[in-house]
């Protein structure tokens, strides 16, 4: 460890208390990364990986500011981390860095049942936040599959999306106000009203900032009353394009089923074997809200699907999804067997989404050793929808796993960019998408983002290597 590194640790212990600073190798190893499959591969291969010099776990905003100031003054890279469920390498501590573990900021600050606002420390676990508001008859309306693995602050930092987003919106629609410590150590709190017209919206500076522009310490979310009624439905559609047309019709007519998902035939076989019908695709829906609206929406949507040539499928398929929706197999067993798997979420307008789907599936199918290249959609809007691709590749040699991985990513990134899509619907950029961001933002957009970063963090100590295309 460098002299500066040792001094920073000593100073952190003096200011935050020895019990807030960890230097055991086991703790450093456990905290050094998120759930990015390439970092997991490094661990499995017992690669020589860089480690942070310490993990620091502040308990309040003042302590966060102390850590930020010390790191800036000593030019020590600082890596903010929520619960490290990110899947893009947003948390991957460089050698000698300080890993800022925000899970100690875990207070539910207040629940306002009158105005429907929940105020949380940024490190609160998503499922704890939901349980706290449920106890007051309310819900966040935000259900990422990782709700029990991720923090409220992490949701904001990555622009997360929940499974019920079609009705409730994504995290940017739910955040009322943010509190953050900026790289210069100052704190900001954005305005908290239901809406404001006070210049550019500073929430959007932090939404999706992935630890590069500041540390989010508090999050106010708007809440919903728990739904009075819920109904499940499922339908078969001829193929993906037919399903996209049906979803467009549903959304553009003005209906918003809370859950609206569409699986291609490969995923129907893999995930819904008992409900498979020929090579048809499956549409799943959950309607929820006031009873009258649920009944009206269910009936109206069914008429739209049938008019478009769809068929009613057992609603038990949707119940099966509801029961299993947060169970995910780990990457480990695949990697141990020489297979690399990952998921890639993109989005495009309705006019291009069919070509994006066909292009990405064809490009994945052409990769040597591909076992599976498939997709479903899970978030629909009036103008378009997302696609969530899954791939599994077994290259001839284990040493080619990384190459196979990058080829698979390139297949989907290129198909999305070619069809006017975004490279990231909700997992963020991290390290895996860095090299693609310029293609989406364009030279002007990228330069603007780099100027904002430089203005707030001129020395670049906040989460270096993430979001912007620099080298580690
Ligand atoms: C099984 C599984 C399912 C998932 N399902 C979904 C899903 O349905 N929807 C979805 O959107 N995502 C999903 N994800 C991805 C992940 O859970 C989200 O990106 C989540 O928002 C990350 O939160 P976290 O607390 O784990 O953040 P981390 O992984 O710890 O950090 C993510 C990024 O945000 C930064 N960061 C975290 N907290 C702060 C903070 N307080 N201030 C500043 N920067 C911060 C980090 O530096 C990093 O760049 C899933 C992941 C897994 C493993």
DSSP category for residue 239: S
0.95 cut: is pTM over it? yes
Distances (CA, A) of 379 to 158, 166, 280, 353, 423: 16, 6, 20, 13, 15
Task: Give the atom of ligand 1 at the shortest distance from the alpha carbon of 171.
Answer: 11
Residue nearest to atom 18 of ligand 1 (CA): 86
Find the mean pLDDT for residues 8-28: 97
Task: Give the atom of ligand 1 at the shortest distance from the alpha carbon of 328.
Answer: 1
Task: Give the atom of ligand 1 at the shortest distance from the alpha carbon of 216.
Answer: 42
CA 124 to ligand 1 center in whole angstroms = 12
Residue nearest to atom 53 of ligand 1 (CA): 85
pLDDT tens column, 352-390:
999 999 999 999 999 999 999 999 999 999 999 999 999
pLDDT tens column, 45-103:
988 899 999 999 999 999 999 999 999 999 999 999 999 999 999 999 999 999 999 99
CA 216 to ligand 1 center in whole angstroms = 13
CA 58 to ligand 1 center in whole angstroms = 19
Residue nearest to atom 23 of ligand 1 (CA): 154
Task: Count the Cβ atoms, other than its own, within 10 Å of residue 426.
Answer: 23
Residue 191 binned pLDDT confidence (cut-offs 50, 70, 90): confident
Task: Give the atom of ligand 1 at the shortest distance from the alpha carbon of 209.
Answer: 44
Over pLDDT 70: what percentage of the chain?
99
Rounded distance between C-alpha atoms, residue 453 and residue 115, angstroms: 35
pLDDT tens column, 199-243:
999 999 999 999 999 999 999 999 999 999 999 999 999 999 999
Kindly calculate the radius of gyration of the chain based on its CA atoms and give it in whole angstroms.
Answer: 23
Over pLDDT 90: what percentage of the chain?
95
Q: Answer whether residue 471 shows pLDDT above 60.
A: no
Residue 268 binned pLDDT confidence (cut-offs 50, 70, 90): very high
Task: Give the atom of ligand 1 at the shortest distance from the alpha carbon of 210.
Answer: 49
pLDDT at site 433: 98
CA 83 to ligand 1 center in whole angstroms = 7
pLDDT at site 5: 83
Residue nearest to atom 2 of ligand 1 (CA): 146
Q: Answer whether residue 472 shows pLDDT above 60.
A: no
Rounded distance between C-alpha atoms, residue 379 and residue 260, angstroms: 7
- Which of the two residues, 9 and 472, has the higher pLDDT score? 9
Query: CA angle 471-340-404, nearest 5°?
Result: 60
Which residues have any ligand 1 atom within 6 Å of their CB?
A: 34-35, 80-87, 90-91, 102, 122, 144-146, 149-151, 153-155, 157-158, 160-161, 210-211, 215-216, 328, 426-428, 463, 466
Of the candidates 262, 216, 256, 208, the residue with the CA atom closest to the CA atom of residue 235: 262
Task: Give the atom of ligand 1 at the shortest distance from the alpha carbon of 80.
Answer: 47
Q: Exposed (0-12), middle (13-18) or buried (19+): which is 200, by Cβ within 10 Å? A: exposed
Secondary structure class of 40 (helix, strand, coil): helix
Task: Give the atom of ligand 1 at the shortest distance from the alpha carbon of 155.
Answer: 21
DSSP string, 86-116: -SSSS-BPPTT-EEEEGGG---EEEEETTTT
pLDDT at site 46: 86
Token pair listed for 37: 């499959």
CA 376 to ligand 1 center in whole angstroms = 21
Q: Answer whether residue 261 shows pLDDT above 90.
A: yes
CA 84 to ligand 1 center in whole angstroms = 6
CA 323 to ligand 1 center in whole angstroms = 23
CA 37 to ligand 1 center in whole angstroms = 14
DSSP run (H or E) holding 160: none
pLDDT at site 3: 67
Tell me the best of 39, 86, 331 to mutate to test the pocket of ligand 1, counting ligand atoms within 8 Å of each CB and taking the most: 86
Helices 434-456/401-418 angle, 10° precision: 80
pLDDT at site 469: 86
Residue nearest to atom 1 of ligand 1 (CA): 146
CA 149 to ligand 1 center in whole angstroms = 8
pLDDT at site 328: 81
Task: Give the atom of ligand 1 at the shortest distance from the alpha carbon of 122.
Answer: 41
Q: Answer whether residue 396 shows pLDDT above 50.
A: yes
CA 428 to ligand 1 center in whole angstroms = 9
Q: Answer whether residue 151 shows pLDDT above 90.
A: yes
CA 86 to ligand 1 center in whole angstroms = 4
Residue 403 binned pLDDT confidence (cut-offs 50, 70, 90): very high
Find the mean pLDDT for residues 405-414: 98
Of the candidates 282, 437, 246, the residue with the CA atom closest to the CA atom of residue 375: 282
Rounded distance between C-alpha atoms, residue 112 and residue 39, angstroms: 40
CA 313 to ligand 1 center in whole angstroms = 34
Contact yes or no for 219/178 (Cβ under 8 A): yes
Find the mean pLDDT for residues 28-49: 95
* Residue tagged 């690399």 (tokens): 340
Residue nearest to atom 34 of ligand 1 (CA): 210
Q: Answer whether residue 461 shows pLDDT above 60.
A: yes
Mean pLDDT value across the chain: 96
């Amino acid at each position: 460890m460098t002299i500066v590194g040792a001094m920073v640790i000593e100073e952190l212990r003096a200011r935050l208390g020895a019990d807030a600073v960890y230097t055991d190798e086991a703790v450093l190893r456990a905290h050094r990364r998120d759930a990015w499959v390439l970092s997991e591969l490094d661990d499995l291969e017992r690669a020589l990986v860089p480690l942070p010099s310490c993990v620091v776990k502040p308990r309040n905003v003042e302590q966060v500011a102390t850590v930020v100031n010390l790191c800036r003054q000593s030019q020590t890279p600082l890596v903010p981390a929520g619960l490290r469920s990110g899947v893009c390498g947003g948390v991957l501590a460089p050698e000698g860095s300080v890993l800022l573990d925000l899970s100690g900021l875990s207070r539910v600050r207040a629940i306002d049942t009158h105005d429907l606002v929940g105020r949380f420390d940024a490190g609160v676990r998503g499922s704890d936040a939901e349980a706290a508001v449920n106890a007051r008859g309310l819900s966040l309306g935000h259900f990422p599959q990782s709700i029990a693995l991720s923090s409220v602050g992490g949701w904001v930092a990555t622009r997360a999306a929940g499974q019920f987003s079609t009705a409730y919106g994504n995290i940017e629609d739910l955040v009322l106000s943010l509190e953050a410590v900026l790289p210069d150590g100052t704190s900001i709190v954005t305005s908290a009203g239901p809406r404001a017209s006070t210049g550019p919206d500073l929430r959007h500076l932090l939404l999706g900032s992935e630890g590069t522009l500041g540390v989010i310490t508090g999050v106010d979310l708007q809440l919903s009353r728990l739904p009075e009624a819920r109904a499940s439905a499922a339908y078969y559609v001829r193929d993906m394009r037919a399903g996209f047309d049906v979803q467009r019709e549903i959304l553009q007519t003005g209906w918003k089923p809370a859950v609206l998902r569409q699986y291609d035939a490969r995923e129907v076989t893999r995930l819904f074997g008992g409900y498979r019908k020929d090579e048809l695709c499956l549409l799943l829906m959950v309607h929820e809200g006031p009873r009258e609206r649920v009944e009206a929406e269910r009936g109206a949507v069914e008429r739209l699907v049938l008019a478009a040539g769809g068929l009613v499928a057992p609603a038990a398929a949707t119940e099966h999804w509801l029961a299993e929706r947060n169970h995910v197999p780990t990457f480990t067993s695949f990697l141990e067997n020489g297979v690399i798997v990952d998921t890639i979420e993109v989005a495009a307008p309705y006019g291009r989404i069919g070509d994006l789907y066909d292009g990405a599936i064809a490009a994945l199918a052409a990769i040597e050793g591909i076992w599976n290249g498939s997709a479903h959609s899970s978030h629909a809007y009036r103008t378009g929808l997302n696609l969530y691709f899954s791939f599994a590749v077994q290259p001839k040699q284990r040493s080619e796993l990384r190459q196979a991985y990058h080829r698979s990513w390139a297949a989907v990134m290129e198909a999305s960019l070619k069809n006017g899509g975004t490279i990231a619907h909700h997992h963020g950029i991290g390290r895996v998408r860095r090299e693609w961001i310029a293609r989406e933002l364009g030279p002007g957009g990228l330069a603007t983002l780099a100027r904002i970063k430089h203005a707030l963090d001129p020395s670049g100590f906040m989460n270096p290597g993430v979001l912007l295309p620099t080298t580690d």
